Structure 1
Amino acid sequence: MSLHPDRLFPADERTRAIARELHGRTAGLPLVSPHGHVDPRLIAEDRPFPDPARLFVVPDHYLTRMLYSQGVTPDELGVPSVDGTPSEVDGRVIWRRFAEHYRLFRGTPSKLWLDYTFQEVFGIYKELGPDTADEYYDHLSARLAEPAFRPRALFDRFNLEVLATTESPVDSLESHAALAEVQDANGRRWGGPGGKVVTTFRPDNLIEPDWPGWKERVEELGRLTGEDTSTFDGFLAALRKRRQDFIAAGATCSDHGNATAQTADDPAEAAAIFHRALKGEASEADARAFPAHMLVEFARMSVDDGLVMQLHPGSVRNHNEWLHEGWGRDVGGDIPRATEYTRALKPLLDAFGNHPRLRIVLYTLDETVFSREIAPLAGGYSAVFAGAPWWFLDSPEGMRRFREAVHETAGFYNTAGFVDDTRAFCSIPARHDLARRVDAAFLARLVAEHRMTENEAAEIAVDLAYTLPRKIYGMEK
């Protein structure tokens, strides 16, 4: 088994030949990863990866949720439980269980990513299944023990130019501080401004008053910054100060995973909600309203300090209560919902949508708004850009539908380029290759239909893959 060189390209021979040529223009470009969830400790410590099961299966909720849906319980996959209930610890047993069910991923982007990773990164070309599970496990284990397969070596082999991680304002940023002290063979620093690994400011756990531990985190923010976070003004001052710490650690962006895109611009009401929340008196309506007020406050901060805002709304977090109660957050129990942007964002856009210092990238899990709301907003405000298909939509068909729905209204240059949004470090090149192939196929059709020239398409392909993410997310050297 080997990857077909024309995978994801059009079936029509003439259009496929154009796509092949366009992809050739982007295949060797450096990878820019402006949004993701790789643990920075991975790069800072540069230790060998764990066994194949803990590298590929246990932390990847793209995989575990599919297996849950077919009756394989989290404890059988080695996912740690909230209460310490024993789960499978034998990596080989977990891997065999995964291999037994690998057929479930046929036709999904997960299989495309994994097959690419197995072949292109680890050099194994057989189909994964029950009969080859042990052979895979032994091969992968042997490679992971080699220095060439440590995180920093793979980072350079992947041609990663910059990787953004995501941290909370109350994170210590110790790993980023350690990376800033290390240089590669060419003298480039691994961390800090202009470094190879940068952080992203993600304040969700400080702007959702009903998130368990919220008050304690507000107090910790005060201790970290020396500000009095018992007042709303002090809370805002602490956030501003902490953003400067993130910028010093290389951050060019903030990221906001609010439940909705709702915004509100009433500082007095925001302060009143904040004080009710500190006293434990916030209502459900308060818990919904406070993040809306804070999005405008963060836009105000971005105008001052230049951090690019990324807005990732529309997920019903922890919808599967059984998973959440047993295994915690971020284990595959989230479900998308319909999300409204046009009215929801108007208070923020009234205040800052045309400000030259603001840049906001809008993502969605609701593809019905691609053409109705996201594209017109990106095409109508200088501060707004359409983010790449995300999470449940980061698939070949989702990416194609995005291009079809957005480009005629917003053009290509009001989109922000591809982001891989992954925790799975070894899959980063696979995800970028898939996106570049889908874009090549889409652009090839426009060329074949004589809607643009091949030279125009080649320039756009390079911009989508490399130029735009560097520019929009402030990562230009």
Structure 2
Amino acid sequence: MTEATDHLFPADRATRAIAHELYDEVAGAPIISPHGHVDPRLLADDAPFRDPADLFLTHDHYVTRLLHSGGISLADLGVGRAAPVDPRAAWRILAERWHMFAGTSSGYWLERELEQFFGVTEELSADSADRVYDRIAAALADPAMRPRALFDQFGIDVLATTDDPLDDLSVHARIAADPTFPGRVLPTFRPDAYLDPAVPDFAERVARLIAQAGQETTFSGYLAAIEARRAHFIAHGAVSTDHGVTEPFATDLDPDAAEKLFAGAIAGELDATSARIFRGHMLFQMARMSVEDGLVMTVHPGVFRGHHTRTLERFGPDTGHDIPLRTEFVESLRPLLQAFGTAPGFHLVLFSVDETAYSREIAPLAGFYPSVYIGAPWWFLDAPDAILRWRSAVTETAGFYRGSGFIDDTRAFLSIPARHDTARRMDAAFLARLVIEGRVTRRTATRIVRDLVDAIPREVFKL
């Protein structure tokens, strides 16, 4: 799915030549995607993609947020809870404002997708909008453009989804039992809404969780219910549990204090301070459970979700107005790491959208604790220049082998190969500079670039 072009490679000829050679080692390597948000029904049903706007625009908040910043209503793009729109009209909006995406990672990914899968080389514009739309629409009728065929074409070895703890995982079971689809699609346990008393329907969610497990409404019953759901996910192939917390704060409580806070949480009586302590204790409990059941624990903190209330109410979550926050790890995670940081088999992958945290906190933590791994550049940082800054920030402290491997974290299925290809090119470029500077041998650089896309993510995510 890739070509030996100069995209993203260094301008210096000698460094670029080595980057090409290193990239060629991994350009066609299988894709390991251990954390993402693709709906598993896409592969279970294998239905054709509806139209170009549905495929590239409507569900990709990387794209819709920039259009919204330029004065376009999300309703005109068919986002979230908005009424359906004419997909051609929405596509024209994107094409007419294509210049807004110059220099952005989302613009680069879209260009690569349009060229690789649809042979589109002309730039999007008001003039080309309909021609490109018609070309894509015609191609989507081809069985080769169905989700399962693309899964194979992309060379995906493993794809993980993100799932609610009470999901029966019947879709995953259907995929696994289908002899016509050999792809490996794994669920991921995402319990945030069942651990945070600030979630509006927290009490109702917990009541359903406890009832399904046949437990009593006590803190110990609540923990047992969570453990039962984790076991259900493991039985369906899950290898990790994911936590999208605002802050990576963890604390340990004695049983009486935990029981009291749990009762207050169920009754909706906790103030902000008490709710924070409860969340912190539950993050601690999630680590304790990962030590016991082996699920890799990934933590994605530091995002103010739903920053614009009216947009959230009208269009729903994940519609482009989640904003990064400053994030602190060292003090916040110390109780968790004191208890579990050296526990055999415990894997804790720490992500951040606060760039300063990588060199100051995450890399030093990963450079000591055997349980801690450095999460790949995530969300606002999975862009070419940010990837290079991240590599520079963490490598001198923790090396290459304390990272997670690349994480695409995407809902946009067609962007998976473009995102992984971007990461492979940037890693090749970074390593090429180290070779030129005499800091890494050519032989070692070849081993590293291979391990970054295969051995490292397999080890970190126990694949």
Using structure 2 for the length normalisation, give the TM-score: 0.97
CA contact (8 A) 2:44 2:174 kept: yes
Amino acid at match of 1:321: T
Distance 2:179 2:444 in 1: 38
Which residue number corresponds to residue 187 of structure 2? 199
Which residue number corresponds to residue 103 of structure 2? 107
Amino acid at match of 2:26: T
Are 2:18 and 1:31 aligned? no
Distance 1:50 1:212 in 2: 34
- CA shift for structure 1 position 320: 1.7
The residue correspondences of 1:251-330 to structure 2 (distance < 5 A) are: 251-268=238-255, 269-330=257-318
Q: Alignment partner for residue 146 of structure 2, among 142, 150, 153? A: 150
- CA shift for structure 1 position 184: 3.9
Amino acid at match of 2:340: F
Q: Alignment partner for residue 406 of structure 1, among 390, 394, 405? A: 394
Are 2:127 and 1:139 aligned? no
Which residue number corresponds to residue 161 of structure 1? 157
The residue correspondences of 1:370-385 to structure 2 (distance < 5 A) are: 370-385=358-373
- CA shift for structure 1 position 80: 3.5
The residue correspondences of 1:4-403 to structure 2 (distance < 5 A) are: 5-81=5-81, 87-184=83-180, 188=182, 190=183, 196-228=184-216, 230-268=217-255, 269-403=257-391
Secondary structure in structure 1 of the residue aligned to 2:157: strand
Amino acid at match of 1:386: I
Amino acid at match of 1:359: H
- CA shift for structure 1 position 375: 0.6
Instruction: Name the stretch that deviates more: 254-263 or 127-136.
Output: 127-136
- CA shift for structure 1 position 172: 2.5
Distance 2:68 2:261 in 1: 39
Secondary structure in structure 1 of the residue aligned to 2:454: helix
- CA shift for structure 1 position 225: 2.4
CA contact (8 A) 1:166 1:199 kept: yes
Instruction: Name the stretch that deviates more: 56-65 or 116-125.
Output: 116-125
Secondary structure in structure 2 of the residue aligned to 1:310: strand
- CA shift for structure 1 position 267: 4.2
Secondary structure in structure 2 of the residue aligned to 1:162: strand
- CA shift for structure 1 position 89: 1.6
- CA shift for structure 1 position 7: 1.1
- CA shift for structure 1 position 280: 1.7
Distance 1:124 1:310 in 2: 37
CA contact (8 A) 1:77 1:87 kept: no
Which residue number corresponds to residue 423 of structure 1? 411
- CA shift for structure 1 position 357: 2.1
CA contact (8 A) 1:319 1:335 kept: yes
Q: Deviations over 1:8-27 (max 9, x none)?
A: 11111000000000000010
CA contact (8 A) 1:88 1:94 kept: no
CA contact (8 A) 1:399 1:438 kept: yes
Distance 2:447 2:345 in 1: 27
Instruction: Name the stretch that deviates more: 197-206 or 171-180.
Output: 171-180
Distance 1:164 1:218 in 2: 25
- CA shift for structure 1 position 112: 1.1
> RMSD of the TM alignment (CA)?
1.4
- CA shift for structure 1 position 118: 0.7
Distance 2:376 2:280 in 1: 23
Which residue number corresponds to residue 193 of structure 1? none
CA contact (8 A) 1:361 1:416 kept: yes
CA contact (8 A) 1:64 1:332 kept: yes
Q: Deviations over 1:222-242 (max 9, x none)?
A: 2332223x1111110011010
Secondary structure in structure 1 of the residue aligned to 2:247: coil
The aligned length equals 461
Distance 1:198 1:172 in 2: 13
Secondary structure in structure 1 of the residue aligned to 2:367: helix
Q: Percent identity?
A: 51
Distance 1:455 1:243 in 2: 42
Distance 2:35 2:84 in 1: 31
Amino acid at match of 1:238: A
Secondary structure in structure 2 of the residue aligned to 1:32: strand
- CA shift for structure 1 position 50: 1.3
Amino acid at match of 2:173: A
Q: Deviations over 1:80-127 (max 9, x none)?
A: 33xxxx635211111111111111100100011111111112222221
Instruction: Name the stretch that deviates more: 164-173 or 35-44.
Output: 164-173
Distance 1:250 1:113 in 2: 30
Gaps of 5+ in 1: 191-195
Amino acid at match of 1:375: A
CA contact (8 A) 2:4 2:20 kept: no
Alpha carbons of structure 1 residues 28 and 11: separation in structure 2 relative to 1, 3 Å = same
Amino acid at match of 1:396: P
CA contact (8 A) 2:80 2:319 kept: no
Instruction: Name the stretch that deviates more: 426-435 or 278-287.
Output: 278-287
Which residue number corresponds to residue 473 of structure 1? 461
- CA shift for structure 1 position 307: 0.2
Instruction: Name the stretch that deviates more: 287-296 or 242-251.
Output: 287-296
